[in-house]
Amino acid sequence: DHRRSGVVLSSIHHREQARLYAKQVRDGEAELELSPEETEAVQRALGGGDGAAQAPGPAPPSG
C-alpha cells in the first residue's frame, strides 16, 4: 500500500497437501525472514526490481 505495507503469500504444493504461508511487511520490511523469491517479489511490488512496472507476458505455448 502507500505505506509500503502488506502481506507476502507463498504456497508449497505436494501430492497430498498444500501449505500456505503469509508473512507481514511493514514500511517495506518483513517481520519474518523472507526467502530469496519472496524478497524479489517484495522488491518488485515496491518498484525496486526489474520489470516491476510491467505485467508478466503470456506463457509460451506448450507442445
Judged against a pLDDT cut of 90, whether residue 53 lies above it is answered with no
- Count CB-CB contacts under 10 A for residue 44: 15
Report the pLDDT value the prediction gives residue 52, as an integer from 0 to 100: 43
Residue 62 is classified by DSSP as P
Judged against a pLDDT cut of 90, whether residue 63 lies above it is answered with no
Kindly state whether residue 35 falls inside one of the protein's structural domains: yes
Distance CA 29, CA 16 (A): 33
Average pLDDT over every residue of 34-55: 78
Kindly state whether residue 51 falls inside one of the protein's structural domains: no
Domain hosting residue 38, numbered range: 6-45
Number of domains in the chain: 1
Kindly state whether residue 55 falls inside one of the protein's structural domains: no
pLDDT tens column, 5-42: 999 999 999 999 999 999 999 998 898 999 999 999 99
